Chains A and B, each alone.
Chain A
Amino acid sequence: MHETDSMVMEFSVPNTLESEIDELITHYPEKRSVTLMALHALQAHFGFVSDAGIEWIAQKLDQTPLAVLELVTFYPMFSREPLGKFHFRICRTLSCALNGSEKIYWALCEQLGLDKNVHKRQTTPDGRFTVEFVECLACCNKGPVLFLNEDFHENMTEESVSKLLTICNGDNSSERKGTGK
């Protein structure tokens, strides 16, 4: 979990992002209230929440780094490791599970060379794909559903998830984005 010194030194929050957070602070009676939003903003920018990011937020919001880390480890949507360019989050709550979300997960894992028996966030060695199970995505009538980055994909089947993968594999741009569906 600890970055090397060089990574800590490289950590810098762009001015636009910092002023966005500064602006958020003005909306609340307590600076602390901004913690979650600041974490989301940093994760969106850096792809994950680093120790340096936690310490930066703590200082900015007059918190102890421990208090920020408590939140980061409480919420599963924060990642302490860099996420892949394509991030699959497959719902495994009741409706989706009954409609076969496990098969979708297995299909993805098999095609990406990941261990389908591991029920934890996994990233391919090339760092391009991250796959994980998540809880209800609030679209239970169209299960199984998944999130590919920030986009919803409903009524998934093994075929449709393979198609999604093909689209991703063809995308060689460097930015991280949704598939535009």
Chain B
Amino acid sequence: MSNEEKVQAKVEVPMITFKVDGQTVSVPKTLPHPVTGKPEPISIIQACALAGVNIPHLCYHPKLPVAGNCRMCLIEYGMPVLDRERKPVLNPDGSPQIRRIPRQAIACATPVTPGMEVYTQTEGVVRARKSVLEFLALNHPLDCPICDKAGECKLQEYVHQYGQETSHFFETKLEKPKKKAISSKIVLDNERCILCTRCVRFTDSVAKNPALGILNRGALNTISNYPGTEFEHNYTLNTVDICPVGALTSRDFRFQMRTWFLSETPSICPNCATGCNILIHSLKGHIYRLTPRENDAVNSCWMCDSGRLNYKWVNDSRRLSNVLWSEAGRRDEIDWETAISKISAALKSSSKGSTAILVSARQSTEEIFLVSKLAKLLEAQTDSLPRIGEGDFLLLNPDMNPNSKAIEIFGLASATPGANVSKIAKAIESGAIRNLIAIGENPVEMGIEPGLLSRLDLFVVCDILGNKSTLEAQYLLPGASFAEKQGTFINAKGRVQRFGKAFDPMGEARPEYWILSSLLSALTDKLWPKTPEEIFNMMAAELPAFNGMTWAKLGTAGMNLLSTTNTTEK
């Protein structure tokens, strides 16, 4: 749906007016159910959220069916008094008379009705929050000092805000399984669990795998999978994110770092063409975890486990971090200036059409754009390697490259991507191609034998980890991973999305856009833009498909390309 369509769809839903803490607000009468999409009466918690009033909640999650079991969201409310003709009775000043309902209600499962008045800050509501928290803490181990969730735990936050320092409970706390391995990726602490069933509802209604349930009764309730089966699918780690407490912990992140030391950088998952919006959690140049960032146009609040866990390579100690130059069997470290001027001199002295460029669909759009400029300048042949994996019904796209769309837009791959490589190999053999530049691609892996590579006049490889081609390179230029630079990826549906820089590249490594821009400046004797923002704005101004986008307008949510909006969304 385009933005305009969305606005229209909103207008069609009738509005209702209610009051929250004295503020009058109009909200849509219904909202789509988070899973089925069917319109459902708007609940108090949803309406208050639209009005900017946050009601404490634990079991409620905007993307899951409502369970109403934690009672954290209790509020008080009043209804307009109606006369026999069901007309509102008015006060002398003309305002409607309101009758306070003597019982509190749960905001997550109570629909808003016209004229309703909701009170979220009364003494009674605060008392209710205190009591609910006291109950939740009865058997809770309160082991925050060793809990991975500490610092981002909802229970901890609410107890800090509303809790009391004493409890009426002096009995011995119940003991439950404390480190139950419910899957290869998750450890469950049944003592910390507050039985909100978010995990149960997620795996059932979003991941369509009803693997979790509640066993036993009352205080003995425990979340469990069926004994002898494992909780295994590609979305299980989302339950760790949505668990409001530290009951579900990711083995990968368990005990690795206190959450408050981590900085969060908005980014895009580089592991497939879906382009899930994510946060990089890092400290001192080290990634500790990736988590999904909400974007309803792409990934809702979720991401897949394979994408989430594929980040270790960024901190690989074998990352390339020096600019290297090989000649006559020797390999020396050189500086960037020397490398760029030597490469550009070699390219300048060779004839047009004698260069081939292999560029990866894992590079940013700005880099791919600069490669297209370079290719045009050198009249180079180009190609890019497709990476096909297995997709699934929820998010995972079979295209494992994050930016195939950009390669397609700038026409840098053959009709069947990768099919040019054999032609390039032949041309190297015949001597028609004298220079090869590989950016994020491994020509040996693509089928150009090391024997052929040694025949080239110029062989430049820009990559981040060593491989068979980096061993052969005359110039080895260390590049930056997605976490070490800014840029955009264009996902399979044509959404242009910005990813941010969490920390600097290692050692001498530099973002590829910087390398390409420097090379273009050296080749053309004019200054090319050097920041992702400038490069993006130059590119967007040139290509109508970008429909007037600017780096700033993209924001953190991204924008859709013009032509693909309608074709790709059926």
Contact = CB atoms under 8 A, between A and B. Distances in A.
A11 to B, nearest CB: 15
B216 A2 contact: no
Contact of A66 (B213, B216, B217): B213
A9 interface: no
A73 B228 contact: no
B142 interface: no
Interface in B206-227: 210-217, 224-227
Interface residues of B, number: 13
A66 B228 contact: no
B217 A64 contact: no
A98 interface: no
Interface in A1-40: 1-2
Interface in B193-239: 210-217, 224-228
Contacts of B217: 73-76
A2 B228 contact: yes
A64 B226 contact: yes
Interface in A61-79: 64-67, 69-70, 73-76
Contact of A2 (B211, B212, B214, B227): B227
A73 B215 CA distance: 6
A73 B216 contact: yes
Contacts of A2: 227-228
Nearest to A70: B213
A65 B211 CA distance: 10
A74 B215 CA distance: 7
A69 B226 contact: yes
A65 B216 contact: no
Given A70-B215, A73-B215, A64 B210 contact: yes
Nearest to B209: A64
A64 B226 CA distance: 9
Chain B contact surface mostly? loop
A70 B214 CA distance: 6
Contacts of A75: 217
Nearest to A58: B226
Contacts of B226: 64-66, 69
Contacts of B225: 66
Most buried by B among A2, A73, A76: A73
A67 B213 contact: yes
Most buried by A among B211, B215, B224, B228: B215
Contacts of B212: 66
Nearest to A68: B226
Nearest to B224: A66
Nearest to B228: A2
Interface residues of A, number: 13
B223 to A, nearest CB: 11
A69 B217 CA distance: 12
Contact of B213 (A51, A69, A76): A69
A76 B218 CA distance: 12
A75 B218 CA distance: 11
Nearest to B215: A73
A66 B217 CA distance: 15
Contacts of A51: 227-228
B210 A69 contact: no
A51 B211 CA distance: 17
B57 to A, nearest CB: 25
A114 B215 CA distance: 28
Interface in B173-211: 210-211
Contacts of B224: 66
B199 to A, nearest CB: 13
Most buried by B among A66, A67, A69, A73: A66
A8 B217 CA distance: 27
Interface string B223-257: 01111100000000000000000000000000000
A32 to B, nearest CB: 13
Contact of B227 (A1, A64, A67, A76): A1
A76 B220 CA distance: 12
A51 B227 CA distance: 9
A128 B212 CA distance: 36
Contacts of A1: 227
Contacts of B214: 70
A66 B226 CA distance: 5
Contacts of A65: 226
A74 B213 contact: no
A2 B226 CA distance: 12
Interface in A117-150: none
A75 B217 CA distance: 8
Nearest to A64: B210
Contacts of B228: 2, 51
Most buried by A among B213, B217, B226, B228: B226
Contacts of B215: 69-70, 73
Given A64-B210, A66-B210, A74 B227 contact: no
B236 to A, nearest CB: 15
B162 to A, nearest CB: 31
Contacts of A69: 213, 215, 226-227
B222 to A, nearest CB: 9
Contacts of A64: 210, 213, 226
A133 to B, nearest CB: 15
A67 B210 CA distance: 9
A65 B225 CA distance: 10
A68 to B, nearest CB: 9
Contacts of A73: 215-217
B209 to A, nearest CB: 10
A4 to B, nearest CB: 13
A130 B101 CA distance: 51
Nearest to A67: B213
Nearest to A1: B227
A78 to B, nearest CB: 11
Interface of A: 1-2, 51, 64-67, 69-70, 73-76
Given A67-B210, A69-B227, 9 more contacts: A2-B227, A2-B228, A51-B227, A64-B213, A64-B226, A73-B216, A74-B216, A74-B217, A76-B217
18 contacts: A1-B227, A2-B228, A51-B227, A64-B210, A64-B213, A64-B226, A65-B226, A66-B211, A66-B212, A66-B213, A66-B225, A66-B226, A69-B215, A70-B213, A70-B215, A73-B215, A73-B217, A74-B217
The 8 lowest CB-CB distance pairs between A and B, nearest first, are A66-B226, A73-B215, A66-B213, A73-B216, A70-B213, A74-B217, A65-B226, A64-B210
